[in-house]
Structure 1
Amino acid sequence: MDDYQPLACDLYDYLEIACLHRYRLDIELVDGARLQGQALNTETTASKEEFLLVRTAEGEQRLRMDRLLAITPLDAGASFGRVLLSGNRC
């Protein structure tokens, strides 16, 4: 795996909000893949890599945050719309 590139702090806040409200998200990955899942939590490893934990139809998944291109809440009344994450690193 290549070196982890942390998200800008203001973008990280959107992931925290999504987890707090357990939003269902449409998640776009930088490799072109797309999935839908419920935001559960964020996690930081001892090596400072950050992950978004989501529940999908296939079960829980850990998505490395620097692999996320964009997130879009699917819940009505969500407090934000599509957020572009890729290219916005610390």
Structure 2
Amino acid sequence: MDDYQPLACDLYDYLEIACMHHYQLDIELIDGTRLQGKALTTETIASQGEFLLVRTADGEQRLRMDRLLAITPQDAGASFARVLLSGSRC
């Protein structure tokens, strides 16, 4: 597995906000995959990195944060629009 590259702190805040409000997200991964999921929480796993936990139609999925390209909330009145995450590392 590649070495984990942490997100810039200001971008991490968007993930925390999404989880706090349980936003339904359109999630784009750097490999071109797209999925829809409800933001549940973030977690850190020692020696593996930081993850966004989402609930999709297929159940809960753990997405490594440095594999995220962008997130876009689908909820009316969300406090932010599409956020580009890839290429913005600490």
Q: Which TM-score bucket, shorter chain as reference? A: over 0.9
Q: In the aligned structure 2, how far is the partner of 1:56 from the partner of 1:31?
A: 18
Instruction: Please state whether the residue corresponding to 1:25 is helix, strand or coil.
Output: strand
Q: Deviations over 1:66-87 (max 9, x none)?
A: 0000000000000000000000
Identify the residue that residue 4 of structure 1 maps to in structure 2: 4
Identify the residue that residue 31 of structure 1 maps to in structure 2: 31
TM-score normalised per structure 1: 0.98
Q: In the aligned structure 2, how far is the partner of 1:71 from the partner of 1:77?
A: 15
Instruction: Please state whether the residue corresponding to 2:71 is helix, strand or coil.
Output: strand
CA-atom RMSD in angstroms: 0.7
1:78 corresponds to 2:78: yes
Name the aligned partner's letter for residue 73 of structure 2.
Answer: P
| Structure 1 unaligned blocks of 5 or more | none
TM-score normalised per structure 2: 0.98
- The structural deviation recorded for 1:48 is 5.9
Q: Deviations over 1:21-40 (max 9, x none)?
A: 00000000000000000000
Name the aligned partner's letter for residue 77 of structure 2.
Answer: G
Runs of 4+ in 1 over 2 A off after TM superposition: none
| Structure 2 unaligned blocks of 5 or more | none
Instruction: Please state whether the residue corresponding to 2:70 is helix, strand or coil.
Output: strand
Name the aligned partner's letter for residue 57 of structure 1.
Answer: A
Task: Number of aligned residue pairs: give it.
Answer: 90
* Percent identity between the two aligned chains: 84
